[in-house]
Structure 1
Amino acid sequence: MRTSRSGEGIQADHLNDKILGRALDSLYDAGVSDLYLHLAIKVVNHLKLPCKALNLDGTSFHVDGDYNSNDDPDDLKCIHICRGYSRDHRPDLNQVVLQLMTENEAGIPVFMAPASGNVNDKTCFQEIIKNHLSCFRAALNSHYLVADAAMYVAETLQLLDDQKQRFISRVPLNIKDAKQLVGKAPAVSLKPVEGYEDYYFAQVPSTYGDVQQRWFLFLNKKRRQSEQKTLIRKMEKQSLKEARDLEKLRKKAFLCEDDALQAFALWQKQSKLCQSGSEPEVIRKPCYSGKGRPPSDSKPDHFEYFVHGVCFVACEKKEHAQASLGYFILSTNELDQNRLHAGELLSTYKSQQQVEGGFRFLKSPDFLVSSLYLKKPERIESLLMVMTLCLMVYAAIQHRIRHELKKQSRVFPNQKKKPCQNPTARWVFFCFQGINVLTVNNQEQHVVGLKEKQLTIIQILGISYESVYS
């Protein structure tokens, strides 16, 4: 095995399970979150990223094994690996949660924090803001903290306001004021969002959580049309199901008229779309114990009751369901309209896709860590840090490629063979397959298999990369 100056004397058989396990133990002892933050700050400063906003989100990984799932979490110094909400759709397995924060331009993760499998984002976000936010502000000088609706909790907003931290968050629509605003949205006068063709907005003040802020009601017309088609399909399916339930109810026999009417009332209560066009009709049917046609003067042994009714789809319910499609609310405590207008607010919130893209990278089958196999929960915390370091390197390379392509006015073919300046690093890596080193007479070495698109990447990255492939 060839060695380099940085790894002088290291052989392949030195890298065994015990060595790697002890390395993970050392990382845990050093404090994975603080150590990672120290490294990330250096990377962000080296890349000279402006760090205008930080994006916060969390996800879960399923874990094979019991670990400390049966222990009392109050007695643990590390994360509690246990059952919880699974974003991987594996609720049958124990979970571990990773909280991630990225800068909004290149998607470089600047903070990671492992958490127990049964915690929710609202609790984790509050802990991060309470214990770590001051470190980010001092080191990165970021303006805004961006997160989804899990951050929009009164206690969390007050924490942010006390620390004078500007935030951008999506407002959950289960809040009373938000529900009312979206409910009257069709009657609100909307303005087009500068720089976004299909977006329109209206601005209203809010003091939710005793924090002064601005709410922006946005309408995405393209999204609205798409959601309308989906909703119509769902409503058709639901109305057919409710009509079939009513048909089954018509064939069901009851012992008395009250039971039949109660069953019909229950159907009407459970129906989300269908309503009865008139009062239900109860039909009484005589029943005889003997076989064949009973004599004309015979009396029935008992009666059975059947309820009949006509149903139709209520137009009010249909219109109400469609009224709020395509609308959403973003909130910020940046009260200066000149510093943050609607278009800039929307683009900054859309950078939340950076952290979500990071989670997709970590959970990709190509990354080979879709599930975790380790002996101790402390080592799982360390492995999550190593995984985040890999994401950092990936995001840094991708940012460098995209930055240099734009800076040098060059393009790289995407998957559809069309020129672009924002290829993913994964696609670039894939395009570098098939390159070989040809050795002649055990002396001369030549790189073969290089194509124009590969040379483009090598050239834009500089002399150090060219020397490797020369």
Structure 2
Amino acid sequence: MQVSDSRQDTCFDLRIERLGPLPLINHFIDRIGLEELLARHLPSDARCAVPHARALGVLLRSLVVEREPIYRQQETVHGFACGMFGIDAEEMRHLCDDRLGRALDHLFDADRAALLTEVVLAVGRHFGVRFDELHNDSTSISFYGNYRDASGRKIRGRSAPVITYGHSKAHRPDLKQLLFILTVNADGHIPVAFRCADGNTSDSRTHIDTWNALRAVAGRADFLYVADSKLCSRENMDTIDRAGGRLITVMPRNRREDQEFRLWIQTHTPDWTCVWDRPNPRYSDGPRDVWWVYRAPLPSAESWSVVWVWSTLLTLRQEARRRRNIAAACEQLQRLRDRLAGTKTRLRGAADIDFQVKAILDKYSVGRTLKVSRTVREDHLFRQTRRGRPGPDTAYRKITKRRFDIEWTTDEEAIAYDHKSDGMYPLMTNDRTLSSAEVLQAHKGQPMIEKRFEQIKSVHEIAPVFLKNEGRIEALFTVYFLALLLQSLIERELRLAMDREGIEDLPLYPEQRPCAHPTTEQVLRLFSLVERHRLLREGRTIQIFEAALTDFQRQVLSLLGISEQAFRSKN
């Protein structure tokens, strides 16, 4: 905006410089020393207009703040004050999507495992993050397109991931995918390890490599490793146990120990110990959330402890799910029966009908509770033996047509059998020093990793991926991991400060409603409109009008340990 002074015939220029939450993000990046670590692992020569580390720093800040695709990064950077994205004005002019693509190429070529290990260790040193309990899980990232070249080819001597079909955890079997393997700690659920695997990789084959990488991060082998039932294989558990590691996993339903307990509980009552008895987390007038544990007297086949868990709310959910599944399966079976009774049905053969019945039972997992039988129904039709008008002496012949039909009944005994163990599942651990309550407490931290997956998919919008080179895609996923790490650290620091200061909630929700568990997304939104103004005359700065922060913004900065000077101009 230009302002003219008629007395001196001088033209003033008032520029608006957007800051947003970038000074806050830069504080955490500097505290980790992230750019120095990137520069050491991704060196650049003098001919590079924008060093690789700084280009990736731009992309990292954009993923946290703006979430724009790579081809719009130049527009995003020019909308903020100079230096907010870690590059100066000269480097801003050379920034483009091709420059960022080459930086991703160098990140793919670098030793990313060593880089991430150093980053996480720096986080542990500067933020006091502990690595004594780690939770692992994976999710699938879907891709739209053919990706014919992404078949595990070599790119500059390194094997690129295979983008292919697999077990889609997003329930999109029609799309190709990659596997995003993430590990978080129990101290704030901070991401501590990441790995990208082929789209058709089974989770059971990822744990050994992940555990070896975590041992380098933790600096020892006796940390507690918590994972889902895919960890429960002989090879995985033996490898971790022989190396001195500790683990907690969910015993799958196909194990003999699980079947024996569910049979034993039909005529026996375990000596349950109540661990938690708390109000319903969703409904104030709902049933209470009660958890019991019971240590099985017999160990597992590996001679390890088996702790059975029983939840009241999980019992209600499983009972309701069983009723819904039976009702839905019966509705589908009735539709199939109506098709068989129709005159134009194409299901003539017994094999076709059995296949349709099996598909329905498998879809709703009611093979034990619904018993379906295929029957033959005879339809009789009488026709005259000769043409003409029928009379008292007309002879008729009987035509019999056979049609297949289905009948089903509900197996009440099977339902009663399953009802006895509703809401119960077994946990297995090789650490015999842990009590049953401690085993449950450790496993209850496992769902928090799903929150991180939700953030990276919904908040950071990792998909759709606007890249075709699978090497750059794997490098981009590494940058997404760093963005998730930054977000988690901000969230952890703010919540720890609230506990330390005795603050129960902050007015971060719309309409200043109280928020007891603030997230980074809410903090970034609080600072999204922060800007300063610069008054220029003939290209020279006359005066800078600094950003006017509210009292609440200053309070949040104080809780995060950030000085208000971070939002002040340095020149």
TM-score bracket, normalised by the shorter chain, equals 0.7 to 0.9
Q: Is the 8 A contact 1:62 1:95 kept in 2?
A: yes
- 1:95 aligns with 177
Structure 1 segment 124-135 matched on structure 2, within 5 A: 124-129=206-211, 131-135=212-216
Q: Is the 8 A contact 2:295 2:305 kept in 1?
A: yes
Q: What is the CA–CA distance in structure 1 between the aligned matches of 2:451 and 2:524, rounded to whole Å?
A: 17
Q: 1:263 to 1:403 in 2, by over 3 A?
A: closer
- How many residues are paired up? 457
Worse overlay, 100-109 or 80-89: 80-89
- Aligned alpha-carbon RMSD (Å): 3.9
The offset of 1:34, in angstroms, is 2.2
Amino acid at match of 1:193: C
Q: 1:242 to 1:17 in 2, by over 3 A?
A: closer
Q: What is the CA–CA distance in structure 2 between the aligned matches of 1:201 and 1:152, rounded to whole Å?
A: 20
Q: 1:433 to 1:291 in 2, by over 3 A?
A: farther
Q: Deviations over 1:176-233 (max 9, x none)?
A: 321332344453324233244411121115655x533111111110121133223223
Q: 1:19 to 1:262 in 2, by over 3 A?
A: closer
The offset of 1:10, in angstroms, is 4.2
Secondary structure of 2:319's counterpart equals helix
Percent identical pairs in the alignment equals 21
- 1:202 aligns with 294
- 2:125 aligns with 45
Secondary structure of 2:181's counterpart equals strand
Q: Is the 8 A contact 2:382 2:396 kept in 1?
A: no
Amino acid at match of 1:222: L
> Aligned pair 1:120/2:202, yes or no?
yes
Amino acid at match of 1:118: N
The offset of 1:32, in angstroms, is 1.4
Q: Is the 8 A contact 1:287 1:304 kept in 2?
A: no
The offset of 1:248, in angstroms, is 6.0
Query: For 1:160, which of 232, 235, 240 is the aligned residue?
Result: 240
Q: Is the 8 A contact 1:260 1:306 kept in 2?
A: no
Q: Is the 8 A contact 1:435 1:447 kept in 2?
A: yes
Q: What is the CA–CA distance in structure 2 between the aligned matches of 1:169 and 1:321, rounded to whole Å?
A: 22
Q: 1:434 to 1:224 in 2, by over 3 A?
A: same
Worse overlay, 386-395 or 196-205: 196-205
The offset of 1:415, in angstroms, is 3.5
- 1:346 aligns with 440
Q: Deviations over 1:314-363 (max 9, x none)?
A: 32233234333211111111112xxx222222221122223222221211
The offset of 1:438, in angstroms, is 5.6
Q: Is the 8 A contact 1:190 1:200 kept in 2?
A: no
The offset of 1:9, in angstroms, is 6.0
Amino acid at match of 2:131: C
Amino acid at match of 2:427: L
- 2:545 aligns with 445
Q: What is the CA–CA distance in structure 1 between the aligned matches of 2:389 and 2:133, rounded to whole Å?
A: 83
Q: Is the 8 A contact 1:168 1:333 kept in 2?
A: yes
- 2:424 aligns with 327
Q: Is the 8 A contact 1:105 1:351 kept in 2?
A: no
- 1:242 aligns with 333
> Aligned pair 1:456/2:456, yes or no?
no
Amino acid at match of 1:115: A
Worse overlay, 45-54 or 456-465: 456-465
Structure 1 segment 71-110 matched on structure 2, within 5 A: 77-110=159-192
> Aligned pair 1:192/2:292, yes or no?
no
Q: What is the CA–CA distance in structure 2 between the aligned matches of 1:469 and 1:152, rounded to whole Å?
A: 54
> Aligned pair 1:426/2:508, yes or no?
no
Q: What is the CA–CA distance in structure 2 between the aligned matches of 1:215 and 1:41, rounded to whole Å?
A: 34
Q: Deviations over 1:370-407 (max 9, x none)?
A: 12233532222211111100011000000000000110
Q: Is the 8 A contact 2:307 2:428 kept in 1?
A: yes
Structure 1 segment 2-81 matched on structure 2, within 5 A: 2-3=82-83, 7=87, 10-63=90-143, 64-66=145-147, 68-70=149-151, 77-81=159-163
Q: 1:248 to 1:16 in 2, by over 3 A?
A: closer
- 2:487 aligns with 394
Q: Is the 8 A contact 2:378 2:402 kept in 1?
A: yes
Q: What is the CA–CA distance in structure 2 between the aligned matches of 1:51 and 1:342, rounded to whole Å?
A: 22
- 1:256 aligns with none
The offset of 1:101, in angstroms, is 1.2
Q: What is the CA–CA distance in structure 2 between the aligned matches of 1:306 and 1:65, rounded to whole Å?
A: 45
Structure 1 segment 270-281 matched on structure 2, within 5 A: 272=367, 273=369
TM-score by length of 2: 0.69
Amino acid at match of 2:256: K
TM-score by length of 1: 0.83
Q: What is the CA–CA distance in structure 2 between the aligned matches of 1:53 and 1:235, rounded to whole Å?
A: 40
The offset of 1:251, in angstroms, is 7.2
Q: 1:72 to 1:181 in 2, by over 3 A?
A: farther
Q: Which runs of 5 or more residues in structure 2 are unaligned?
A: 1-80, 279-289, 362-366, 537-541
Q: 1:433 to 1:182 in 2, by over 3 A?
A: farther
Worse overlay, 100-109 or 301-310: 301-310
Q: Which runs of 5 or more residues in structure 1 are unaligned?
A: 254-258
Q: Is the 8 A contact 1:205 1:213 kept in 2?
A: no
Secondary structure of 2:397's counterpart equals coil
Query: For 1:304, which of 386, 393, 401 is the aligned residue?
Result: 401
- 1:468 aligns with 567
Q: What is the CA–CA distance in structure 2 between the aligned matches of 1:237 and 1:223, rounded to whole Å?
A: 21
